[in-house]
Chain A
Amino acid sequence: MADAATQLKLPPPVPPELERVPLVGNNRDLGWLSDKIAGIAEGKTPLWWWCAFVPSVLAAGLLGAMLVYQISTGVGVWGNHHPTMWGWDIINFVWWIGIGHAGTLISAILFLLRQRWRTGVNRAAEAMTIFAVICAGIYPAIHVGRVWYDWFLFPIPTANGNWPQFRSPLMWDVFAVSTYFTVSVLFWYMGLIPDLAVMRDRARTRLRQFFYGLFALGWTGSNRHWSNYEKAYLIFAGLSTPLVLSVHSIVSLDFAVSQLPGWHTTIFPPYFVAGAIFSGFGMVLTLLIPLRKICRLEDIITKRHIDVMCKVTLATGSIVGYAYGMEFFIAWYSGSPYERFAFLNRALGPYWWGYWLMIFCNVVVPQLFWCKRIRENLLVVFIISILVNIGMWFERFVIIVISLHRDFLPSNWGYFKPSWVDIATYLGTFGLFFTLFLLFMRFLPMIAISEVKGVTPQADPHHPLGGAKANGGSLG
């Protein structure tokens, strides 16, 4: 039998060129991973962090000042006007909401689809999602004329029996965005629990021990804990998946339900979701490429991760491009002169530059990702990711401003210009976003430690390096 055992033929070794690039580079062991990731949130605050944090806080303060000014004085301090009653407020709302799509998509949909590479980026992307949704959520709340009556939008059973109007897409927005935010926060926090326990165990001060311990909810890493955790994670992933699709679909209905040429389009829900994923991945790339460098995370966020995300960007960018083309086709095919005009006016009207900037950034530039060498050149990828963000901002500009500024009656036509308060408020939301993100990476593990460990060879019992067999390997 021993002979038979020795005669058992192992499959021929995979040739190196066909070998999958490992998800963690340099064959790093589990201990290194813990040290590396937890180390970012421990130790002395690096100088670069302060350099980034101070301007961010100042910018967030600017946001506060702008909100005080706008609320005390009136919406008029912004640039929107008759006929363009929505301007940067709703553009930025949709833009931030769009950015807030990548995180939950990565953690939920890619989890269900067994995309193991997601582990390297999901934590940061989810954090980005939450902070982006916070930035987004500010806008609809304050863009209204009378902020102090925002509660009219919630179905609160009051004595006078006034209910919100459930036919209005803005109403659906309130539910969609708040549900999405709640679920995203819970999902993110749940995923954090094992890592919070790691942080707790590594903490050296009482304060850190207390707070990490508080939020780790007594995690011990027992089998029962892990089992419950895995089940809950799956359930959350299942819950979040439709939300990823619904939230931006509903945001798109803000436009599609109206009858304005340029808004009144059935293609909007899928087109908006694709655009949101596109912009979300753009933002993830914009954030992670520098972070990977600064925090020396090249072995965890590998070029393979970047490569995959570039491919997602390419795919969604192409969908968006298709949608742009289809809008034009339908406008022509509808035979409605108003529809035709709305689209010709996009491309050739006073805001033609906005339209063509959008086409360049969203449709032309991502096509470069067909080329592997470009996907591997991180500087180029970084620049493209920024262009994607700009392009997606202009997509919302094109939809909102260009459609509104010239509609049915030419007597109403106008030309929208933002005011300085619009611009300062927008910069302020960046301040808030980066403040939150910098705090996040300073105090929480930026990468899901347990999940990354789970995709290393060491965690695979069947792998030569994996499990207890790996005597040679250090388990740290």
Chain B
Amino acid sequence: MKPTPPLPPEPADGRKYWRSLDQLTETAEFQQWMEREFPEGATEWHDPVSRRHFVKIMSASFLLAGLGLAGSGCRRPEEKVMPFAVQPEGYVHGQPQYYATAMPTRTGAIPLVVKAQEGRPVKIEGNDKFPGGHRGTDRYAQASILNLYDPDRATRFVKNGQTVTRTEALDFLEELARKFAGNRGAGLAFLIEPRTSPSFHRLRQVLQQKLPESQWFLHEPVDTAPVNVAATAAFDAEAQLIHDQWGHTRRPRYRLDKAARILALDCDFIGDEDESHTLIRDFAQGRKLSGPTDAMSRLYVVESLMTLTGAQADHRLRTPASRVAAVTARMAMEILKLAPPAGVDVAALTQRFAAAADAAEGDAKWIAACARDLVEHKGRAVVLAGHRQPIAVQWLAHAMNAALGAVGQTLELYPALSSGANPADRLLPLFSLAKWLNDGKADTLVILGGNPVFTAAADLDWAKTQRQARTVIRLGYYEDETAAAKLCDWHFPLAHYLESWGDARTHDGTLVPVQPLIQPLFGGLTELEFLARLAGETPANPHEIVRETFRREARPGNFEEEWKQFLYDGFRADSAPKPVESPFAWAKCRPETKAPETLSKERLEVIFHRDYSLDDGRYANNGWLQELPDPITKMVWDNAVLLSRQTARELGVKNGEVVEVSLNGRSVKGPVWIQPGMADYSLGLALGYGRERAGRVGNRVGFNAYPLRSRETPHFAVGATVRPTGKTYPLACTQDHWSMEGRPIVREANLEQFQKDPGFAKRLNMHEPPGGMRPLYPNPLEEKKQKAHHQWGMSIDLNTCVGCSACVIACQSENNIPIVGKDQVKRGREMHWLRIDRYYASDPARQKDKSVWRREGRQQFESWIDDPQTVMQPMMCQHCESAPCENVCPVNATVHDEEGLNVMAYNRCVGTRYCSNNCPYKVRRFNYFDYNKRPINALYLGPLGKRKDDEWDLIKMLKNPDVTVRMRGVMEKCTFCIQRIEQAKIAQKVKARDSGDVVVPDGTFTTACAQACPADAIVFGNIADPASRVSQLKRQERDYTVMEYLNIRPRTTYLARVRNPNPAMPDYPAIPATLSEYATKSGDPSLHSPADAAPGEH
């Protein structure tokens, strides 16, 4: 007899509304409830006692007893189980709930589905129902959940450095609203961040109407608006240059999925441009191969920094940022000559940038061949210019797009989103505010978000300027540099987007809701509520504000239904504007470019770039992002002065040496990192580090590059000098060795090779051991495997993986992976279950040293690193069928299950670490300390190192309850998200009832990494089902196994990478560099027969 399971859980994929229908009835309780916004018992959050009370209610079993040695001694910790006072309808304890929401970004929003456990948001996932299948997210979205539980976030209302009650602070706002309503807002200025929320802009209009004399300013340290400005200049014949800025009416959207040839001009669209997750997805579409006959896009990159986009390039031209204009000019000249647009006087046009074009003479061949290739693919080629480049360069890029027939094909133009759409209410930049403040016109300055004291241009001297206002009011997520008591009179805590009602528009203009999953933990206000209060609306209810905005979108009469649908879907279908027909305005086109300056070691170029982890510094207190290895440098917890080998050699500096970089009389000090592939005489300085008031995680991590950044040259500047200080600074890097040493780990071929020999990847297999040998001691699981319903496996496409690292953070979030701190990473003890290996390769002829056993210390000075090819490989537990870790574990802590998983029994593990030694992929991670229990700066204090209580409370709320939190002394590793597998199996069993159909259908669930991948490069599924996606991928000829010769038969296999270089290019490599490295070591792979090495059956 089968036991009846108690309370069958619902399938895990059902999404819920935030409110049940009953609550929408117009009862008195409901009205009151609405006013409260959240259920009773969850208000007044600044009081820690009631916060704890809330936590007790929301999590039924919450550890309250003192932990650790002191206090409770060795007794079992006391647990208190608190039942719900009122059971929410449809709530099943232990069942996660999913809500659709969105994370607002600078120029759009990322549609999300967020998982909540017992009322706590625990995991952020992309909304796969979103049109276009934006299942993937970026690393910032994945990590943003940690900010919600950041103990250092603004938790109180502050007046002149003193905590005041919430009521007092709100009364002040009310008083302020009355005061300015009286004088029409005279002397009132707002400083806001770019955002796309329609409600926000509606409120802004309301405010502007009520307070017509108020001033509105916009500040964004990494401003991608120039991209829109350039598009407006290029495509809007009516647009006028006002002051020194264009209002923008156009937004470009690149359709890389449709492009056969892509030219990126200093445009890191994979890494630091906005909406990179969308661009990655589109780019990956053009790189996906199902067989040798498929077409594949070709990527040309011209850049100075070594970026993620450069790592994907088929051809990469390394040139300083200040010289990109010259390369662009020459490229434009070539293209306009080869494909002259009708009715345009090309000669007159090109005359304007001929001088600049001459400066790119040195790369004439490269440019000519590239231009020819682009022109040959007219209509399917696209040119992207990055936001760091001046408008002129972007303008030229659009001229090329126009000449290449890209407009309307691979380049779509959309009307600008609300911000700045109307030139009348265009927002003025920060320096206008500075001028206004310094003129003494300011009475009250309201700063919404942003951290201008840290991020403003150095020549504005913002800290002083900000103080010119009589009253400074700030709504901020952190009490950061801007919130310092001397600079700021009032500070209001801002709510996290997971605590807020709001809305936003995604990059393509689709309206998405921002739904809260939890009551603001510390009583923070949303921007909407704050603005509404300033507009004199009390009670200011952001939920109602958003509904009010949506009312304009919805059909009258059907509002409630559509509102529910909106919240359920997480987007408003068909709300995106259509692309506008917008021909290039040739008549207006006058991009002025000058010949670039010559760089030398006395006259260097500095590039200020958005950091791959911290963005502009806003994520400085996010431990996950601090510990996320930079996808290129693999450095953690630091930024560095990136420079090329030759520059370093000329300056006489080496890795880790602290140098002083001076520019226009200002200087910063930072350690040097020699970065392969950097342009010579360029210095790359990542922004966002060196924070003074970030919080306990981010304070004084790295060095601050903002002091070098001036208003005139926010992105790059020429004329810097470098002086070595003779000091060294330790940098923590997760991958010390750059070369793959000719080993067939990442396998690559050029497209022609792949077409000629589709099975090239398997030719790199080693010739031993002979296949088909029967094992002496057959695995007892083999038989069970035949009967199991599922066999789990994974396929990773190295052709589409761009190394963006969203998967790393997704895994960390899903699997409760702790951070360990810089010191531990330096010792090689980082805990990431999933890492991304990055190797550089070059033509062996350039690798003069014959030795493979040289010291790492020297690779930074070897000439082969100048123009390397870069490869990325996500590496995690490969779930070997005959896993070498298993048979060496003396306590049976790591064992195999019948579904092919290599599972870890943490309770059983004593921590001999033998399994890690015997793992050829070294993907196992050991808890050297109590990383979860101890703060990272007190690991060596043992039981004396205690986390603060506020940290404890919040850290516990963040954990995924379906995954064990590991203690010290235990080995851990990727589990293929076994908790998700089990949930899916249970849900399927419940659904199957008596039908016996217990096989989980393909695509019902996937692992956290696969879910986060914007490129869809990771595919997980049941390989026992031949129709599953993963089975199909594994049948591809590019499929190979890393270290197949060990005969350990991993369940994770890779699809080999294919490069698509152009034979006409001067830097055309006949075979990829990794392959030629392999060939020098192991012989020509085309002579190996793939049949020799019989791979283990899967």
Contact = CB atoms under 8 A, between A and B. Distances in A.
Interface string A249-261: 0000010011110
Interface in A382-421: 404, 407-415
Given A152-B891, A163-B892, A258-B888, A411 B837 contact: yes
Interface stretch (B311-319, B487-495, B848-856): B848-856
Contact of A170 (B737, B884, B914, B927): B914
B969 interface: yes
A152 B829 contact: no
B70 to A, nearest CB: 13
Contact of A259 (B908, B918, B928): B918
B875 A411 contact: yes
B661 interface: no
A84 B930 CA distance: 20
Contacts of B884: 258-259
Contact of B828 (A81, A143, A337): A81
B209 interface: no
B743 A410 contact: yes
Interface in A137-159: 143-147, 149-150, 152-153
Interface residues of A, number: 58
A152 B853 CA distance: 41
Interface string B573-592: 00000000000000000000
A82 B908 contact: no
Given A165-B891, A409-B922, A74 B928 contact: yes
Nearest to B968: A74
A143 B917 CA distance: 14
A287 interface: no
A85 B926 contact: yes
Given A144-B912, A144-B969, A407-B920, 9 more contacts: A76-B928, A84-B828, A145-B909, A152-B908, A404-B917, A409-B745, A409-B837, A410-B740, A411-B838
Interface stretch (B42-50, B548-556, B688-696, B937-945): B937-945
A125 B1082 CA distance: 51
B887 A349 contact: no
B908 A410 contact: no
A426 interface: no
Contact of A409 (B875, B909, B910, B968): B875
A145 B969 contact: yes
A146 B909 contact: yes
Contact of A76 (B829, B851, B890, B967): B829
A197 to B, nearest CB: 43
A73 B940 contact: yes
Given A85-B916, A145-B909, A414 B824 contact: no
B699 interface: no
A84 to B, nearest CB: 8
Interface stretch (A36-44, A340-348, A360-368): A340-348
Interface string A162-186: 1111011111001000000000000
B760 interface: no
A168 B889 contact: yes
B914 A168 contact: yes
B839 A410 contact: yes
A438 interface: no
Contacts of A257: 887-888
A344 B920 contact: no
Contacts of B927: 74, 145
Interface string B784-823: 0000000000000000000000000000000000000000
B926 A167 contact: no
B968 A145 contact: yes
Interface in A43-88: 69, 72-77, 79-86
B948 interface: no
A325 interface: no
Contact of B890 (A153, A337, A404): A153
A336 interface: yes
A145 B839 CA distance: 32
A143 B928 contact: no
Given A404-B917, A410-B740, A149 B910 contact: yes
A412 B921 CA distance: 8
Interface in B408-424: none
Contact of B887 (A72, A85, A150, A165): A165
Contact of B735 (A80, A147, A164, A411): A411
A461 interface: no
B1029 interface: no
Interface string A203-217: 000000000000000
B766 interface: yes
A69 B943 CA distance: 10
A345 B835 CA distance: 25
A350 interface: yes
18 contacts: A76-B968, A77-B940, A81-B827, A83-B917, A84-B828, A85-B914, A146-B911, A162-B891, A165-B889, A165-B890, A168-B914, A170-B888, A341-B853, A407-B920, A408-B743, A408-B922, A409-B922, A411-B835
A170 B885 CA distance: 13
B969 A164 contact: no
B82 interface: no
B739 interface: yes
A475 to B, nearest CB: 57
A166 B809 CA distance: 38
Interface string B828-847: 11100001011100000000
Contacts of A167: 887-888
A85 B913 contact: yes
Contacts of B828: 81-84, 414
Nearest to A334: B768
B909 A72 contact: no
4 closest Cβ pairs, A-B complex: A145-B911, A145-B969, A76-B928, A73-B942
B1025 interface: no
Interface in B380-394: none
A146 B907 CA distance: 10
